[in-house]
Structure formats: C-alpha cells, structure tokens
Chain A
Amino acid sequence: MLRVGIIGAGGIGTVHANCYKSIPNAKVIAVADIIPERSKKLASIFGADFYENADDVIKRKDIDVINICVPTYLHSEFVIKASNAKKHVLCEKPMALNYEDGIKMIEAASKNKVKFMIAHVLRFFPEYMKAREVINAGSVGLPKMVRTYRGGPNPAIVREWYGYHDKSGGSIQDSLIHDIDFLAWTFGPVKEVYARGNVFKRKEPFDPEYDLVMMEFENGVIAHLVSDWSGNQKTQFGAKIEIAGTKGLVEFNSFNIPLKLNLFEENKGKAESVSIPESPLSPDIEPYTREIREFLESVEKDSQIPVPAHDALYALKVALTCIESMRVNKPLEVKL
C-alpha cells in the first residue's frame, strides 16, 4: 500500500483525489492547500489529514508519494522539496516555467533516487491512444499532416493566476504543451516551429489568448496546432486531432460526446441553460486514473515511469521555442 499526500486541492487536485477512490493499492493520507476549506473538503473523502502548509505534508515520514497539484509557478519548488524529502513525485504539467528549473527538478529527483513524473495525461486519453494505434496499424499509411485544437474558455476567468504569463506560462506553455508532448512522443523530435498569436499584445490577465503554431518534425511530418483561450466560462472546452497520411485520415473530436445534459438553472431571476458535456469512462481507461495508477505501479515495481521526465522537459523546450518564435517573428529550430 502506497501512502499519498496531495498538495493543492483546487481543480486538478480534486480530479486526482477522486481517481484514488478507484486505486485500491494507494491511500491518500494527507492533503494541503493554503485555502483550508479546500484541503479539508478533499481530505474528508478519505478521512485524511489536512494542512495549510505543504511542508507539513512533505515532512511526514509515513508518506511515500507526493502528488503536486499547485499552480505552475510553484511546481519546481515543491518537486525539489519533495524529492529532497525522498518522496516519489507526480507533478502536474507543465513541468516548470523555464528550462533551467526543469533541469533542476530532474537533478533533484535523480540525486535522491526517487521516481519523478510529469502528468502528461494526454498520453492516457483513450482517443489519443487510439490515434496512435491507428497510425501504428498502418491504416492511414504514413502519417504526414497533423492538425490539433485545444481550448475554449479562458481559465483565468475561474483562476486568475492562469492569466499571468509569469505564473502559468500562458496558453502555449500551459495547454498546448499537452499536444506538443503527444506529437513529439508520437512523431519524434521537432525540427522547427513558427508561431503567431497575441501573447505579446495581451494586457490584462482576463484578455483572451489565441495562438496558432506550425511545427515541422524531423521525420517530415507537418503539424498545425491551435491553442485557444478566447472563450468565457460558458464556452465548452474541447480538443481535436486529425492525422492525414499517405493512405487515409483519422480524426478525433471531443465535442462529439455521448451525453449532453441541459439543465435550467435559476440565475438572478432569469432561467439559464447550462450544458454539461460528459464522456463517461470506467476507471480502467479513465485517463487521470490510469495515469496515476501506472505511475504508482512503476513506484511499486521500481520500473521505468510511463512518461520520462526528459520528455516533459523536451515538451517544455518546444513550448518555449514557440513563444520565442512569436516574439522574434521567425521560424526557429528547437535547440536543446
């Protein structure tokens, strides 16, 4: 039985916590959040202890694994602390805000001989796994042209910190990094990127961000990626991927879902329709559960973690190169 501490009981912290309900060989025993109501609420699911200060979780001797779900600007600090306390670490993406921090995180984990994984959950999404399966089966021939979309609502509307580039990295570093990691994992190293967007034009944290990225891979694949934070809280979040090959084409679109529920809520006197899209999956293939389960398995068996930390570092590098390309308005090679 692995004993887990969760740090950060916000949006994704709650998602992770719920996953542990269907992971029998792990138990959440501590939760920390600077907002006590949040840690208390999550801890109550498991009868776990709750704290305001993350250090109180990290220093607990009886904890094997720290699951880091705090905002991005805190990732490196907490990963390094947890590693130094000899805890295995599962940390949310993006790895860090800058490349140097990413390297320090990897060094801390390897020095302390702990497992360290960045939660690039897209690799566990069944539709993205299916995309790779289709490619590997050769059904579309050699993959050549790829289009991805990710986005919808501007997350700053719900959590203001997302709106500051020095806290979240912005939509490319925060969101597009999912697709970047998936594409690099699937098609190999990126040769060159070119990006246009409004990163350097936005002024306020709530201003929409919309970025369009072109990518050429060393194997000749060309990709176009959309990173969209232009919607409001009513905009539906979604992701799409299309892969055209020498023999066919395959596409996945998260807007096509099995269940659309429309509820009429009373809101300031006037009825309003809130649509809740759902794509129910069993815990066997539910991506967040699967990601955590496979990470914990590699901890228990002392085997290779499913998402190598260097892959996460590479995705970060590509994301940073996209932003730099936008700044200098030039295509840039991805140099490590």
Chain B
Amino acid sequence: MKIGILSCDHMHAESYVESLKRIEKVEIAGIGEENEKRGKDFAQRHGIKYFKDYEDILSDKSVDAVVICSANAKHAKMTIDSARAKKHVIVEKPIATTIEDAQRMIDACRENKVKLMVSFPVRYAPPIKRMKEIIDDGKLGEIIGISATNHGTMPGGWFTDKALSGGGSIIDHTVHVVDILRWIFKSEVKEVYAKMGTLIHDIPVEDCAIISMKFENEVFATLDASWSRPKSFPTWGDVTFEIAGTKGSMNVDAFAQHGIMYSDDIEHSKYAYWGDDMDYLMLKDFVKCIEDDLREPVTGKDGLEALRVALMAYESVKKDKVIKV
C-alpha cells in the first residue's frame, strides 16, 4: 500500500510518517508541501520524496491513500481533491473549521467511494481503551459526571491564525475528549456552556478555556482545553479523565506511562514516555480498514460531531449563555 503525506503544517506529520514506516506493506509516496524549505527539510529528515505540489501525489495512480496534515482550514480542499483522485483519506483533527466544510468532505468521500477517517489517536491509547471497557462493563454503575483535561503548551505558528486554524485552544483541544466521550456513551452532546480568554500569551486567539457540556444521556462533563502548560513543563500537555459513577470512580491519565528525566541541558525535568505509540496503532488500523474494506474506525461524522461541540463552545462564549442543540 502506498501512502502520501499532504502537508506538514501540523507537527503530527512527523510522528505519522515514522509510524507509517513501521507498518509492514506500507510504502511512503512522499510529502507534498508548498513551503519548499519546510517540505524539503521534512523529506530529508524522514528519507522520503518531496513534491511541491500535492497534486503530483494525487495524480500518481499507484498511491492508495493520503494523510492530510495541513492547517485546519485547508483540510476541506485537500480532502475533496484527494477523494476525487480516488485516494483514501485520514485527516488530522479537527476535521475542518466549519460544519459545512466537514459535510462537504464527508459527501465527497462517500461519492468517490473512498474511506474518510479522522485522526483521533487517543481512542487507541491502551489506558483509554481500558477505561472504555471498565465503563462498558458497568463497573462504575451509572456515570454521574466527568472532569476532563486536554492541556497543551501554546503551539504558535498558524495555530494562532484564526483564518487557518478556526480558533485557538478550543478548536485545537476540544475534539479529542469530546470524541472519546461520544465514543464511550454513544450519545451526542446536547448542551454546552464555555468560558474562554486570551489569558496567558500575547496571541490573537484564546489560550484558555473551560467547556461544560451535557450529553443526551444526561451525563455532564467539563473539559479544560487550555494551552496553559509553560515551556518549562515536563511534557507537552495531557489527556485526563476523572469519572464519578454510582458504583465507583476512576482517574485516567492517558500519558501517565512515563518516567522523569532530569537534564542539565534543559535545566528542568522532562517526562520520559514509555507507553504505546497511539499514532502507530491508529495508522495500522487505518491501513487495515482500507485493506479489508471495513467501515472507518473513526468516521467523518465522528469528526463533524466533535467539531460541532467546539463551535457550540465559541457560540456560548459569544452569547454568554448555555447553547442547546
């Protein structure tokens, strides 16, 4: 199977390409990146071919699928172009910056009979899978409420340019946790209230946000979607869940499998992560779903619904009220 990378705007392209290399039978077609310097550096770093125009990857009949890692607002065009060229697509989250774009992407992939998967690797983290299993088994009884976090460091670059990103920390950090909760509860978010602000950094988008939501199944949850980790923090951020149920509670930290490293080079400590590589596990599943012609493990609709919650959060901030679907 031949897979191309479209754009490396998003830093996850780095780990995706390394993960793809580890998957048997996968051949990497190259990287299509209009920024020549960045694209060539990326290609050289990973030992793959460079194309300035991603159309050159799409026009190659031997390419089966693409991994899209462009800035959020460019996902739609690249996905639709790829679908028309009959390439299966896995697109970085959030699926898009508007519901309309997301819907157009879903439609284009359906019409062209190609797979569309949205990159939600957290589903593949073994601690998160185990968390789902425990809830599915009813071990916690009925779930009452959940306090979740998806913190990060401020990524800078296009992430803070609303025209390219669609927003700041909310659009960047809401979708993972919402996807996990939708996946576990098989229930949609029906109410959202959010507070946000540009509190920490001098940037044109929000860097701090708390989102409170309620699902159709009456479970309530909050999410801290803030770029509030300083540069000196020992890791990039976190994905955590604190879950209260009628029969027990559970604390889950998706990245807790780490040691602590102290280095005089950086003069602060750093986590040394030793757990599974969730990007690799996700991409393996993407390849499998193409090979065996299975339904996408994470669908375009999953991406769209997670995006909807992020957009509801923005609307809630704008109106300072609880937004109901």
* Residues 271 to 325 of chain A near chain B (Cβ within 8 Å): none
Q: Are B249 and A231 in contact (CB under 8 A)?
A: yes
Is A71 part of the binding interface, using a Cβ–Cβ cutoff of 8 Å?
no
Say which residue of B149, B212, B222, B249 sits within 8 Å of A228 (CB atoms).
B249
Q: Are A198 and B199 in contact (CB under 8 A)?
A: no
Most buried by A among B226, B228, B242: B228
Is A20 part of the binding interface, using a Cβ–Cβ cutoff of 8 Å?
no
Is B233 part of the binding interface, using a Cβ–Cβ cutoff of 8 Å?
yes
CB distance from A226 to the nearest CB of B (A): 5
Is A14 part of the binding interface, using a Cβ–Cβ cutoff of 8 Å?
no
Hey, which chain A residues are within 8 Å of B321, CB to CB? 330-331
* Residues 243 to 275 of chain B near chain A (Cβ within 8 Å): 244-246, 248-249
Is B208 part of the binding interface, using a Cβ–Cβ cutoff of 8 Å?
yes
Select the stretch in A62-70, A122-130, A214-222 that faces chain B.
A214-222
Is A249 part of the binding interface, using a Cβ–Cβ cutoff of 8 Å?
yes
Is A196 part of the binding interface, using a Cβ–Cβ cutoff of 8 Å?
yes
Most buried by A among B191, B226, B244: B244
Q: Are B200 and A214 in contact (CB under 8 A)?
A: no
CB distance from B243 to the nearest CB of A (A): 9
Assembled-state Cα–Cα distance A141/B220 (Å): 33
Most buried by B among A198, A212, A231, A232: A212
Interface string of B308-325 (1 = CB under 8 A from A): 000000000000111000
Assembled-state Cα–Cα distance A140/B230 (Å): 9
Given A197-B220, A210-B244, A212-B145, A244-B226 contact (CB < 8 Å):
yes
Interface residue count on the B side (C-beta < 8 Å)? 35
Q: Nearest chain-B residue to A140 (Cβ)?
A: B230
CB distance from B1 to the nearest CB of A (A): 43
Is B147 part of the binding interface, using a Cβ–Cβ cutoff of 8 Å?
yes
Q: Are B210 and A224 in contact (CB under 8 A)?
A: yes
Assembled-state Cα–Cα distance A147/B226 (Å): 11
Q: Are A220 and B230 in contact (CB under 8 A)?
A: no
Q: Are B224 and A224 in contact (CB under 8 A)?
A: yes
Do most interface residues of chain B lie in helix, strand or loop, or is the interface mixed? strand
Assembled-state Cα–Cα distance A232/B244 (Å): 12
Is B144 part of the binding interface, using a Cβ–Cβ cutoff of 8 Å?
yes
Q: Are B195 and A222 in contact (CB under 8 A)?
A: yes
Is B204 part of the binding interface, using a Cβ–Cβ cutoff of 8 Å?
no
Assembled-state Cα–Cα distance A67/B202 (Å): 50
Q: Nearest chain-A residue to B226 (Cβ)?
A: A145
Assembled-state Cα–Cα distance A214/B224 (Å): 10
Q: Are B228 and A249 in contact (CB under 8 A)?
A: yes
Given A212-B145, A224-B210, A245-B200 contact (CB < 8 Å):
yes
Hey, which chain B residues are within 8 Å of A212, CB to CB? 145, 147, 212, 220-222
Q: Are B208 and A194 in contact (CB under 8 A)?
A: no
Hey, which chain B residues are within 8 Å of A248, CB to CB? 230, 232
* Residues 232 to 246 of chain A near chain B (Cβ within 8 Å): 232, 235, 244-246
Say which residue of B197, B199, B212, B249 sits within 8 Å of A235 (CB atoms).
B249
Interface string of A187-209 (1 = CB under 8 A from B): 00000001011100000000110
Q: Are B230 and A249 in contact (CB under 8 A)?
A: yes
CB distance from B134 to the nearest CB of A (A): 15
Is B229 part of the binding interface, using a Cβ–Cβ cutoff of 8 Å?
yes
Q: Are B144 and A230 in contact (CB under 8 A)?
A: yes
Interface string of B168-196 (1 = CB under 8 A from A): 00000000000000000000000101011
Q: Are B200 and A224 in contact (CB under 8 A)?
A: no
Hey, which chain B residues are within 8 Å of A247, CB to CB? 230
Hey, which chain A residues are within 8 Å of B246, CB to CB? 207-208
Is B49 part of the binding interface, using a Cβ–Cβ cutoff of 8 Å?
no
Hey, which chain A residues are within 8 Å of B191, CB to CB? 329
Q: Nearest chain-B residue to A228 (Cβ)?
A: B244
For the complex of A and B, the 8 pairs showing the least CB-CB separation, nearest first, are A244-B228, A210-B244, A144-B199, A230-B244, A196-B220, A212-B222, A210-B145, A248-B230
What would 29 A/B residue contacts be, using CB atoms closer than 8 Å? A144-B208, A145-B208, A194-B193, A197-B220, A198-B145, A210-B244, A212-B212, A212-B222, A214-B193, A216-B195, A222-B196, A222-B199, A226-B147, A228-B242, A228-B244, A230-B244, A230-B245, A235-B249, A244-B200, A244-B208, A244-B228, A244-B230, A246-B199, A246-B201, A247-B230, A329-B322, A330-B322, A331-B193, A331-B321
Q: Could you list 17 further interchain pairs (A-B, Cβ under 8 angstroms) beyond the known A214-B195, A216-B195, A244-B200?
A: A141-B200, A144-B197, A145-B200, A196-B212, A208-B245, A210-B145, A210-B244, A212-B212, A212-B222, A214-B193, A214-B212, A222-B196, A222-B199, A230-B245, A244-B208, A247-B230, A249-B229
